Amino acid sequence: MSAPLPPTAAAPREVPWTKGPWFLEGNWDAEKDEALGGWISCFPPAGVALFELIPVTGKDEHIIANAKLLAAAPQMAEALRAHHAWSYAEDKFLGTFDMRTVLCSYAQHLTARALAAADGSADPGDFSGPPRLVVWPTCEIQREDAEAAQALVEAVLDHQRAALLSAGAGR
């Protein structure tokens, strides 16, 4: 039996770090005749440096890979949050099977995007949730968009926070 999730239009929870996306700026091209290095910035505001990256040692390809990995941190954190929401929803049988399928698909998509940012592979593009056949009142195939999927992530994480608070209050 599944536990209901209250409908939510909750805005994404604020995180303590600077929101992404983050961008590498400076020289990260091993083919240039200048030293590798630069900074990671965020937009908006345009060009605000978050921190400077000064390679100390290592082969050029490792230095560049490490810089890409650091710049992908916000996307990796977002993917971790989505995976956590999905596994929590599965563990507690929250919502419907279709809802948990959307959470799973969204978490996988965010993970693929984070890995693409970190390793330079092809970006999977925009999220298009798993198809769902709706047969009443008309027959159509529907898909969730990224905004609806993110709202599910936030609803599940809100549910978990409330459960943890009530468990702590009962001690």
| pLDDT averaged per 10 residues, the chain (length 171) | 55 73 83 82 68 75 86 92 94 89 93 91 86 77 86 90 80 58
The pLDDT value given to residue 128 = 85
The pLDDT value given to residue 83 = 95
The pLDDT value given to residue 46 = 55
The pLDDT value given to residue 42 = 81
The DSSP code sequence of the chain is -PBP-----PPPPP-SSPPS-EEEEEE--TTSSS--EEEEEESSSTTEEEEEE---SS-HHHHHHHHHHHHTHHHHHHHHHHHHHHHHHHHHTBS-HHHHHHHHHHHHHHHHHHHHHHH------S--PPPEEE-SSS-EEE---HHHHHHHHHHHHHHHHHHHHHHHHT-
* Under 8 Å between Cβ of 147 and 127: no
The pLDDT value given to residue 10 = 54
The pLDDT value given to residue 87 = 94
The pLDDT value given to residue 36 = 83
The pLDDT value given to residue 6 = 52
The pLDDT value given to residue 25 = 83
